[in-house]
Amino acid sequence: MTVIKINAITVPADSGDELARRFAARAGAVDDQEGFEGFELLKPTDDRTTWLVVTRWRDEEAFDAWVSSRAFGQGHQQGSGDESEPKRGPVGTHSELWSYEIAGGSRP
């Protein structure tokens, strides 16, 4: 059964664009990961400062395997991601992992 893992990242209002740029630079990086079913980066449109990375996985094992992988470590190493980029710090000030399963819904 599909599991939903959400990384909720607190980003100062003036750093949102930079977060979006960093995600855009890595958007396809997880596509080949076994059991990965997709993700969206959700930007707040009210005055909240919490951005959501909503990811979907075939099961818990698939998500755990990705988080333990070298690819995750490399992609989430501070100031890296791309060797050609200069070192830079994280734009988020806080992050939390939220775990959900689909309990209902519909899709036209």
> Residues 65-84 vs ligand HEM: string with x where CB under 6 A?
----------xx--------
Contact between 51 and ligand HEM (CB under 6 A)?
no
Three-class DSSP category at 16: helix
Length of the chain: 108
The sign of the dihedral angle between the CA atoms of 52, 20, 13, 47 is: negative
Q: Which of 9, 58, 71, 102 binds ligand HEM (CB under 6 A)?
A: 9
Enumerate binding residues for ligand HEM (CB under 6 A): 5, 7, 9, 19, 22-23, 26, 29-30, 39, 53, 55, 75-76, 90-92, 95, 97
